[in-house]
Amino acid sequence: MKELVVISGKGGTGKTSITASFAALARDAVVADCDVDAADLHLLLSPEIRERREFKCGVEAVIRAADCTSCGKCEKFCRFDAIRKTVEGEEKALFVVDALSCEGCGVCARFCPAGAIDLVERSGGEWFISECRFGPMIHAQLGIGGENSGKLVSIVRDAARELAVKSGRRLVIVDGPPGIGCPVIASVAGADVVLAATEPTLSGEHDVERALSLARRFGAILMVCVNKWDLNPELTGRIEHAARAAGAEVVGRIGYDRTVTEAQIAGKCVVEHSDGPAARDIRTLWENVLRRLD
Ligand code: SF4
Ligand code: SF4
């Protein structure tokens, strides 16, 4: 089983459109949306959810009002201002924790003289085992205030790999997070091939360099493609030159094509929606990537 992760130095470089088209062209791959902070692969692949699982992320403090003596120490100790005195009751004040402000540090529970504070597991969202029209898909939705430190990315990725092994599929295609933070590290560590998608802009040039430099540390085969390359052929050449110098293989260029946006609006992959220039470029790109995966 092989794993291909599509990343980008920043969002909006066509990473998800490319991943969705790869899913359509591969047909029998497991697809994983690891861009959990801005998950949108489901908009193109319309998965049907078969199973949902809760994502637990850290702990939060909860005060047991019946045991609280209203001493107010927790309010003073909480450096995140997450505990507030809300009501002056007839006998005692009521202290409550604002779950969105609580960082789960545990100081209040440690110093509450009445032992009236519990640290309970926090629900950070959900992840799903689904079926889309090209095969199985694993994806997730962060809850309000849910924190993605890479843990949810790892859960989604592990589930996709496990599903691929169980179902005898030979490929996992991952829509990775943008940037170079912990979620990206969680998505590229141990992958076989990392494809960085970029655009011919100065920030795109800088971002792809950073993404490659990060991915290189994990020993994967590195590849680069330039999306909308014809908007600035000179800069495209420069990016490709730098990518080769950084040890990456340049596997394709995708020309600017307004049918890409039309496909997004229609909720389809580019290669399903039309046979225009971008669709043809993505097919060529896929063939080049596939050659290295085999
Ligand atoms: S420290 Fe404990 S007893 Fe004191 S107000 Fe807070 S929860 Fe209540
Ligand atoms: S766990 Fe830490 S952040 Fe949360 S309420 Fe207690 S002291 Fe404040």
CATH architecture of 65-115: 2-Layer Sandwich (3.30)
Distances (CA, A) of 42 to 17, 163, 213, 244, 267: 11, 18, 29, 33, 9
Q: Is residue 116 within 6 Å of ligand 1 at its C-beta? A: yes
Q: What are phi and psi of 234, to 5 degrees?
A: -65, -45
Q: Give me the amino acid identity at 214.
A: L
The two tokens of residue 29 are 């791959």
Residues paired with residue 273 on neighbouring β-strands, in sequence order: none
pLDDT over 60 at 53, yes or no: yes
pLDDT over 80 at 145, yes or no: no
The ligand with the least distance to the CA atom of 74 is: 1
Distance 79 CA to ligand 2 centre (A): 8
Q: Which value, to the nearest 10 degrees, does the dihedral of the CA atoms of residues 82, 83, 84, 89 take?
A: 160
Q: How many CA atoms lie within 13 A of 79 on its CB side?
A: 3
State percent of the chain over pLDDT 90: 76
Lowest mean pLDDT among 156-160, 191-195, 216-220, 254-258: 216-220
Ligand 1 atom nearest 117 alpha carbon = 7
- In sequence order, what are the residues at sequence separation of 6 or more whose Cβ sits closer than 8 angstroms to the Cβ of residue 9? 178, 179, 180, 196, 198, 203, 204, 206, 207, 208, 209, 210, 211
Distance 73 CA to ligand 1 centre (A): 6
Give dist(CA 168, CA 173) in Å, integer. 15
User: Where do the domains of the chain lie?
Assistant: 2-56+126-293, 65-115
Q: How confident is the model at residue 172 (pLDDT cuts 50, 70, 90)?
A: very high
CATH (one of 3.40.50.300, 3.40.640.10, 3.30.70.270, 3.90.1150.10) for 2-56+126-293: 3.40.50.300
Q: Is residue 116 within 6 Å of ligand 2 at its C-beta? A: no
Q: Give me the amino acid identity at 135.
A: G
Distance 61 CA to ligand 2 centre (A): 6
pLDDT of residue 19: 97
> What average pLDDT does range 107-124 have in this prediction?
95
Q: How confident is the model at residue 92 (pLDDT cuts 50, 70, 90)?
A: confident
pTM: 0.87
The ligand with the least distance to the CA atom of 67 is: 1
pLDDT over 70 at 88, yes or no: no
The ligand with the least distance to the CA atom of 73 is: 1
Q: Is residue 63 within 6 Å of ligand 1 at its C-beta? A: yes
Q: Whose CA is nearest to atom 8 of ligand 2?
A: 78
